[in-house]
């Protein structure tokens, strides 16, 4: 079993490339790949799991190629410092196969209770479902980014407003 990613690498994956590169632990060879994997781990694992062949004991594995149905999945993007920290902002992306078909603009969640954040997430799923005409009941993956990555231009906590 592979070694777990360190806490620092996990936290660093949420930062921008320039912020991460300024850290003393930055390794220009390893860190970009680790950051990419940490940010997209759920989607990469899901794709890997779907493409993995199933072998039965003692039988020769035969391979056939079929065109899989293109599924629709929703990725939720949280902007927060840690997993147990309050949510700064939420955004979402809808994917059909490997193509992004819909993007939900980020919205601030500062001051909202956890129950209200769950309500916003439910509204996002409903809005995506009605926009695409497909029933979406849950998020397929979760992406966590640092609040300094918040793309909202009027954000009071971000660096790009200085």
State pLDDT tens for residues 95-130.
888 888 999 999 998 888 999 999 999 999 999 999
| Whether 47 and 80 share a structural domain | no
Looking at the fold, whether 41 and 86 belong to one and the same domain comes out as no
pTM, to two decimals:
0.59
Reduced to 3 DSSP states, what percent helix, strand and coil does the chain have, rounded to the nearest 5? 35, 20, 45
Classify residue 161: in a domain, yes or no: no
pLDDT in tens, 123-140: 999 999 999 888 889 999
Mean pLDDT of 78-102: 89
Pair 131, 82 in one domain: yes
Question: Do 76 and 29 share a domain, yes or no?
Answer: no
Q: What pLDDT sits at residue 41?
A: 84
Question: Looking at the domain assignment, is residue 38 inside a domain?
Answer: yes
At 151 the pLDDT is 86
Q: Which range marks the domain in which residue 125 is found?
A: 72-153
| 35 has pLDDT over 80 | yes
Distance CA 120, CA 150 (A): 17
Domain count for the chain? 2
């Amino acid at each position: 079993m592979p070694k777990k990613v360190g806490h620092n690498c996990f936290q660093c994956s949420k930062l921008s490339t320039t912020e991460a590169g300024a850290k003393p632990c930055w390794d220009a060879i390893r860190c970009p790949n680790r950051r990419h994997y940490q940010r997209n781990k759920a989607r990469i694992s899901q794709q890997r799991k779907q493409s993995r062949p199933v072998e039965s004991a003692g039988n020769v594995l035969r391979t056939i190629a079929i065109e899989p149905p293109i599924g629709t999945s929703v990725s939720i993007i949280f902007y927060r410092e840690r997993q147990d920290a309050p949510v700064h902002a939420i955004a979402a992306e809808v994917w059909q196969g490997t193509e992004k078909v819909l993007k939900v603009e980020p919205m601030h969640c500062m001051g909202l209770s956890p129950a209200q954040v769950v309500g916003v997430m439910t509204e996002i799923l409903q809005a995506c479902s009605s926009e695409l005409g497909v029933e979406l009941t849950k998020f397929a993956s979760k992406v966590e980014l640092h609040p300094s990555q918040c793309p909202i231009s009027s954000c009071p906590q971000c660096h790009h407003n200085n």
